Amino acid sequence: MAAFFFGLLLFAMQPPPIPSRPAETGDGDWGPPPSPTASSPLALNDTGATSHPNGTFKQLPRIIIIGVRKGGTRALIEMLSLHSAVAAADNEVHFFDWESHFQKGIPWYLSQMPFALPDQLTVEKTPAYFTSSKVPERIHDMNPGIKLLLILRDPTERVLSDYTQVFYNRLQKHKRYQPIESLLVKDGEINLGYKALNRSLYHLHLQNWLRYFPLESIHVVDGDKLIRDPFPEMKRVERFLNLEPQINASNFYFNKTKGFYCLRDHGRERCLHDSKGRAHPHVAPAILHKLYQFFHEPNRKFFELVGRTFNWN
């Protein structure tokens, strides 16, 4: 009991937290966010100078895009930024998955956020969060009522995109690379030691998140549909976040040169970086078939977890 009251005394001595958009209540309003305990890296020990003369300030995110790598997270955050009630962090923060960042504490995390108006929601995206075993508990400790966005693609296509990114990165740095077949298959069987394959076992990672968050707190965005027809998927995201309907079909136009949709906002057009949408390497049909077979059962388990199906081969 004495330790309890001592903890309360320490908490009372903390400086007041930076104003933050509140956590959502059942009626769609947003109430005050929970405060992390003073004994963890999530404690807000030093608020610093985060306010801005124009009335904006930095606030902890009320929305986090948790993954998955090569699932379409950059497209999702760019499209979500079309909404005037959203303020998006520019870079992947890697606060909850990198120990070197996490040990800097919440003040550092807060410093990575954009300046936002009082009625805006701050969002950050770090695709590696989804597959990191320690991240769900850490985010829950910061705010158990946070909204989580998870964008997924066909797991086989995601593996190929994963390889493609690493392939081009090594090519640009004049480093050696392994042919994709040698990574996917070992001794005639699917190579379970290949990290890109593990990232596509969605059900295993989601099970860990569901230990800390109810399914209602996690919205799964269909990354394949977002590529083909982004508007309907973004309307679903708006509804999940209880945002006023604002994103419309005129915000998207198909760029024939790039081969994917670009964005139009108040007369300004922008597309994703040229590194997005790169062609995948050729994979022998027999190996592709083996991949599809491998993911059949993990996909079924994932569909059961989320209560819906996806058009994955």
pTM here? 0.84
- For residue 142, the domain's CATH number is 3.40.50.300
70 among the known binding-site residues? Answer: yes
Beta bridge partners of 150: 67, 220
239 among the known binding-site residues? Answer: no
74 among the known binding-site residues? Answer: yes
261 among the known binding-site residues? Answer: yes
User: Within a domain: residue 81?
Assistant: yes
Q: Is 255 exposed, middle or buried (0-12, 13-18, 19+ CB in 10 A)?
A: middle
User: Within a domain: residue 17?
Assistant: no
What per-residue string of b and e applies to 59-76 under the rule 16 or more CB within 10 Å gives b? Answer: bbbbbbbbbbbbbbbbbb
Among candidate residues 254, 250, 64, 223, the one with its CA nearest the CA of residue 158: 223
Residue 277 CA, distance from chain mean position: 19
147 among the known binding-site residues? Answer: no
User: Within a domain: residue 39?
Assistant: no
User: Within a domain: residue 264?
Assistant: yes
pLDDT higher at 153 or 165 = 153
Q: For 171-220, what is each residue's pLDDT tens digit?
A: 788 888 889 999 999 999 999 999 999 999 999 999 999 999 999 999 99
Q: For 58-83, what is each residue's pLDDT tens digit?
A: 999 999 999 999 999 999 999 999 99
279 among the known binding-site residues? Answer: yes
Contact 79, 263 (CB under 8 A): yes
- Domains of the chain: total: 1
Residue 45 pLDDT greater than 90, yes or no: no
Contacts of 48-51 with CB under 8 Å at 24 or more apart are: 48/107, 48/110, 48/111, 50/18, 50/110, 50/111
Contact 20, 60 (CB under 8 A): yes
196 among the known binding-site residues? Answer: no
Among candidate residues 98, 87, 155, the one with its CA nearest the CA of residue 126: 98
Q: Identify the domain containing residue 257 by its residue range.
A: 55-306
- pLDDT confidence bin for 54, thresholds 50/70/90: confident
CA angle 135, 112, 24 (to 5 degrees): 60
Q: Is 246 helix (H, G, I), strand (E, B) or coil?
A: coil
71 among the known binding-site residues? Answer: yes
User: Within a domain: residue 108?
Assistant: yes
Residue 257 pLDDT greater than 70, yes or no: yes
pLDDT of residue 276: 60
- pLDDT confidence bin for 44, thresholds 50/70/90: low
pLDDT of residue 47: 40
Picking from 128-142, 194-208, 269-283, which range would have the lowest pLDDT averaged per residue?
Answer: 269-283
176 among the known binding-site residues? Answer: no
Contact 281, 180 (CB under 8 A): yes
Contacts of 206-212 with CB under 8 Å at 24 or more apart are: 206/150, 206/302, 206/305, 206/306, 207/305, 208/133, 208/136, 209/66, 209/130, 209/136, 209/148, 210/305, 211/136, 211/137, 212/136, 212/137, 212/139, 212/140, 212/144
- pLDDT confidence bin for 132, thresholds 50/70/90: very high
pLDDT of residue 59: 95
- Fill in the DSSP letter of residue 200: T
225 among the known binding-site residues? Answer: no
Give the whole-angstrom CA distance, residue 87 versus residue 125.
12
Which positions are annotated as active-site residues?
70
User: Within a domain: residue 33?
Assistant: no
User: Within a domain: residue 271?
Assistant: yes
User: Within a domain: residue 4?
Assistant: no
